[in-house]
Structures are given as structure tokens and as C-alpha cells.
Structure 1
Amino acid sequence: MSNASTNAQTGSPSKYDTLIAATNSIDPVQTIVVHPCDETSLRGVLDSAGAGIIRPILVGPEGKIRNTADTHGLDIAGIEIVDALHSEAAAAKAVELIHAARGELLMKGSLHTDELMRSITAKAGGLRTDRRVSHVFVMDVPAYAETIFVTDAAINIFPDLDGKRDIIQNAIDLFVQAGFGTAPRVAILSAVETVTAKIPSTIEAAALCKMADRGQITGGVLDGPLAFDNAIDPDAARIKGIESEVAGRAQILVVPNLEAGNMLAKNLAYFAKADSAGVVLGAKVPVVLTSRADSPRARMASCAVAALHADACRRRARAAAV
């Protein structure tokens, strides 16, 4: 799908096209790409580099990377390659390069996600911060006016209350720092919109909203528990008598657990024809996490949102140093 694609329902440029275009205002972000040893991952890197979003360093078996490029007619001339024997070694080396200030982003290539995440979350030498690492799907749903965030649908299986606090804060920070707007509307999802001891996620949702009231979560407007329908549909919220800034027009959807989030994101992708960009947050640098099923435009959007976030982090660090 080309960058000139449009929303089939409105004829207007897609949300991802707008997102990708926003990177024109920033310098390409130095990006460590881990084990890009198949056509899909290597082509995604070159597309994003060609669009001026990233400046890649490729980490992995050099012979295999060059063979992939030659086989598929991909031009990697002028791109630095750091040789590593295999995928696990590539992940470890990529983390070393981040510590050496060689890059501001990590990007997953053709290795398994758990291989990359093991190196990122390692207690010794990893990229941990005081935040829980979490994943955000940044979704372009043609039928929905907003770019929608779904979190966490890929990293944390059954997050506890403190974990959900970090998951929400990570998503809010990404929303604001990547330029989607200010004070995002955060819906904490459950099966129902009332608090009941029979469904523990409703109690956690209520607690998270109170944590936001007390300043333990900042920068967003929270409401929950909300069922999916009254989180995203104004009529559903009105029928249920729910009046809030969030109900019916949520921008960030916080799911109870990974299973629910993964099913929600894939339902949106396959039934609603949504594109989904993926970013991991909470480490020392953002991590672009793509899937083999991603469209070329979704891969580029993943790079774009991570690059915008990294650029904002860089500017904030410079301002703090002055």
C-alpha cells in the first residue's frame, strides 16, 4: 500500500499518512535494527530510511544480511552493518550499541520478539528503567475518527495494578510526545461499565481513575470501567447514561490483559480493516516492534511514531540540561 493511500470511506489522507508526514519536521533518528535477515524486515528498514524517518545501523550476520539484499534486489550500499553471529548475539549487541549512544531507537528485524525482549529487559546490561516495559498498538481504524491506541496487547500477560499504572502512563506519554495531541482520553476497558467484585478488572479500573485524581497518573483524562461499545460509541454511552469526557470518544483503550488486547487488536485489523503500528515503551529507548503480517505503510508508521517520540525525548533532555 503506497503512502498516497486514502481512507476509502472519506477520500481523505489516512491517519498514517499524516503521521508519516509529521516526521518531515525532524531529523532522521539513528536506529539500531536487530537481525534484519529476511526480505520483509529489510525492505521495511529501507522504506523508512528512504522516507527520511530513520538512519539505520544493521546488526546481525553480515553475510546473511547481504545475501538477503542481493536476492531481493535491495540496495544497502552505504548502510553500516555490525556483524553478529546469530539473532541472540544481534539482540545483545544492539543493546550494547544503545548504551554506547550509537542509536536512539531499536527496531526488530526477523528474530523472535522474546529474543529481543530478553536482551532489553535483562537485569544486568539491559535497557530497563523504573517503568514497566509495555506495548502500544497505534491503530488506524477507517471507521473511527481518532487514531486509537490499544495497550497492552503484546508484552504484559496479566498486569497488576502497578503494572497498569505504568502501561497507561507509557501510552499517555507516547500520545503527547509523538504529537497526537494533549490530555488524551483514556478508557479502561472491562466487560461492563459498573464496578463489581465479580469482575476484578472493574475494581482495578476504578482504582486507576482514583490514582489519576491523586496525581499518580498524569497527562491524560481517565474513565473506567467502560465496556468497549460505550468507550468508542457516543450513542452507546448515551443509552447507558454515561456522561464523561472519555465515554464514546476514547483515544487510548487500556485492556484488562494481553489476551483481551490481542483479540481486540486483531479483530480491528481483520474485521475493521485497520492498520496497526507497534511500539514498545518503558525502556531507555523506544522499540519498533513489527510483525510479518504488517503492511509496508504500517511498518513505516511504526518507525514514524517511535521516531517522533524519540525526537521529543531528545529535545526534553536537551532542555533539562540547559
Structure 2
Amino acid sequence: MRKLDEIIKKVKDLPTMKLAVAAAEDIEVLESVFSARKQGIVEPILVGDLEKINKIANDLGESLDGICIIDEKDYFLAAQKSVMLVSNGQADFVMKGILDTSILLKAVLDKEYGLRTDSLLSHLMVYEVPTYHKLLFLTDGGMNISPNLEEKAKILKNAVKGAKALGLEEVKVACLAAKEKVSEKMVATVDAAALEEKGQNGEFGQGVIVEGPLAFDLAVSKEAAQIKNFKSEVSGDVDIILVPNIEVGNGVGKSLTYMANAKSAGIIMGAKAPVVLVSRADDAQSKLYSIALGALIANYK
């Protein structure tokens, strides 16, 4: 896929997923949810302050007829009820509304009713970059601060699942570091080389090519690899960029958005169902892309 609109087009042809929205009383969240509903992407269940939801719907000129609404003003209970809808099979995935991320994730990870698995929760972004020839995945710039090797392997497995959901038969991965030579002084290079070995041993599945360590230029530019005489199967054609820590992921992601005019979608992977986790700075269109991505992965799972 080259465009995020292709995700919307693809998911329209799949069964409509039920989306539980926790603390839904947010104008841009509801705008994106209404749009997704009109396009047949999701059937929403809105959990939140009924009075505020009604007002926002009226302001947007949208009808709430036929939409299930659970009136809950308390953010924690709204998160709890939304997650329980997924856990009980009444919804297929969940989305963050106006509440804090920590409140929703606490509910997701609850041992009694949550969506915990033996995997690790990780943030996966998908970028449509004008200067790149296909969609680019980035992980993890939103959740795990400084993951160790075992955690990076789980993060990468989550990302591969996301890529496979988009229909990629071959997935090319670059494990990012500041240089290509392994140095004991730079943990990122050591871990990247170990992840490449795991990939060669089939730990991330068939059709997954993992290389590392790679600097960012070698990951995204075939010309840079040629100039540096660096032999690679992924350079200039990478699908997933795995970053060594949250600072790198956050910096690369924000640079793509604000300096390269990239469009994006974001999702939390590693739970029993996708968690649509969007920034308050994201516009309604970005939120719609994230909903579509969540619906596609929910269908895939």
C-alpha cells in the first residue's frame, strides 16, 4: 500500500467491526467515528457522558439514531466498560476518547476483565510520507521507554502482525542504530544484530527480512547504501523501522509529521484486540485512519 486511503478502501470490503469508544465526548473523536460509521468501517458503541455526546452530535449535525450509547461520566468506569465490551465479545476493538491514556491502558491490562496477553503492549505508527514509495511502519515511539532485547523482539512481532494485516507477504525490517558496525559500547547495535539473527532463524515468521544495525539513511535510501557500499536487502525498500528507544521513535515520528508533511495512523498492539490510541493533536482525518487501521487488524485477528 502507498496511501492510507487504501486502508480505508480495503477495510470497506470486510465485515463491519464493532468499536467501543471510551469517554467518547470529544468532538474530533466523534467526528472521525461518525465518518467511519457512514463508510461502513465500524458500528460504534459510545461510552461516555450522554449529555456531552448529544451536544457534540448536534453541533456536528449528526444523528445518534441507531447508535448504542452507554451513559458513563466517570472516566475510569468508561474505560472499564469499554474494555469489558471487547472482553465479552460485544465489541471487536476499543478506542481512546477524551480520557488520559493511562486510564484506558490500566483497564486494558486489568487481570480480571482486561485484554492482557503474554505479549507486550507496543505502539505502532503507519506513515504516508510524500517522499517514500509506500506506507512506512514505525515502532515503538509511544509506549516502551527503553526496551531490552526480549522486549524488542515482542515489539517487532507485534509490528509484523500489523504489516501482515495490510496484506504484506514480504516484510522488510530495519533495526535502527547510529551506525552499522556492532559495538559493545552501543547496546542498540548489539540488540539489532541479535534481532537480525532471530529473523534468520525464523522467529518472526516466513517472509520477514530483518537487518540491523542500520542508520536511518541506509534504512530508507537505496542511494545512501550504494554510496556507502553497504549491501542490504531492505535499504530503500524497508517496511518497518524498529527504533532502539522511545526518544528515537518519538523524534523520527514527529519529524515525519511536522517536517515531511506525513499523514499517519496509530494503534496499540499486543492486546487481545487492537487499541486505537490517538494524540489529542491528531486531526479527525488522522483519527479516521487509525480507526480504519484498527478495524483492519481486528478483522485480521
Q: Which letter maps to 1:293? A: A
The 8 Å contact of residues 2 and 134 in structure 2, kept in 1 or not, is answered as no
Are 1:49 and 2:37 an aligned pair?
A: yes
Aligned pair partner of 2:186 in 179, 196, 199: 199
Quick one: distance in 2 between partners of 1:53 and 1:166?
29
Q: Which letter maps to 2:149? A: L
The residue number in structure 1 matching 2:249 is: 261
Are 1:187 and 2:178 an aligned pair?
A: no
Other structure's SS at 2:133 match? coil
Gap runs ≥5 in structure 1: 1-12, 314-322
Shift of 1:167: 0.6
Other structure's SS at 2:4 match? helix
The 8 Å contact of residues 278 and 289 in structure 1, kept in 2 or not, is answered as yes
Quick one: distance in 1 between partners of 2:5 and 2:283?
13
Other structure's SS at 2:104 match? helix
The residue number in structure 2 matching 1:37 is: 25
Q: Which letter maps to 1:205? A: A
The residue number in structure 2 matching 1:27 is: 15
Quick one: distance in 2 between partners of 1:202 and 1:36?
42
Quick one: distance in 2 between partners of 1:178 and 1:235?
27
The residue number in structure 1 matching 2:229 is: 241
The residue number in structure 2 matching 1:18 is: 6
Q: Deviations over 1:139-163 (max 9, x none)?
A: 0001100100000011111111111
Other structure's SS at 2:112 match? coil
Q: What TM-score does the superposition give when structure 2 sets the normalisation length?
A: 0.96
Q: Which letter maps to 1:177? A: A
Q: What is the count of residue pairs matched by the alignment?
A: 300
- Stretch of structure 1 that moved more, 208-217 or 181-190: 208-217
Percentage identity across paired residues of the two chains: 39
Are 1:120 and 2:144 an aligned pair?
A: no
Aligned pair partner of 1:218 in 159, 183, 205: 205
1:133-144 matches, within 5 Å, as 133-144=121-132
Q: Which letter maps to 1:258? A: I
Other structure's SS at 2:267 match? strand
Aligned pair partner of 1:59 in 47, 50, 55: 47
Shift of 1:215: 2.6
Quick one: distance in 2 between partners of 1:74 and 1:292?
21
Gap runs ≥5 in structure 2: none
The 8 Å contact of residues 16 and 297 in structure 1, kept in 2 or not, is answered as no
- Stretch of structure 1 that moved more, 20-29 or 137-146: 20-29
Q: Deviations over 1:104-162 (max 9, x none)?
A: 11111111111111111223332111111111011000110010000001111111111
Are 1:100 and 2:79 an aligned pair?
A: no
Quick one: distance in 2 between partners of 1:14 and 1:312?
20
Shift of 1:14: 6.5
Aligned pair partner of 1:111 in 76, 80, 99: 99
The 8 Å contact of residues 275 and 295 in structure 1, kept in 2 or not, is answered as no
The residue number in structure 2 matching 1:75 is: 63
Are 1:178 and 2:166 an aligned pair?
A: yes
Q: Which letter maps to 1:209? A: E
Quick one: distance in 2 between partners of 1:78 and 1:25?
22
Other structure's SS at 1:301 match? helix
Q: Deviations over 1:64-116 (max 9, x none)?
A: 22222224433222100012231111101111111211011111111111111
Quick one: distance in 2 between partners of 1:178 and 1:14?
11
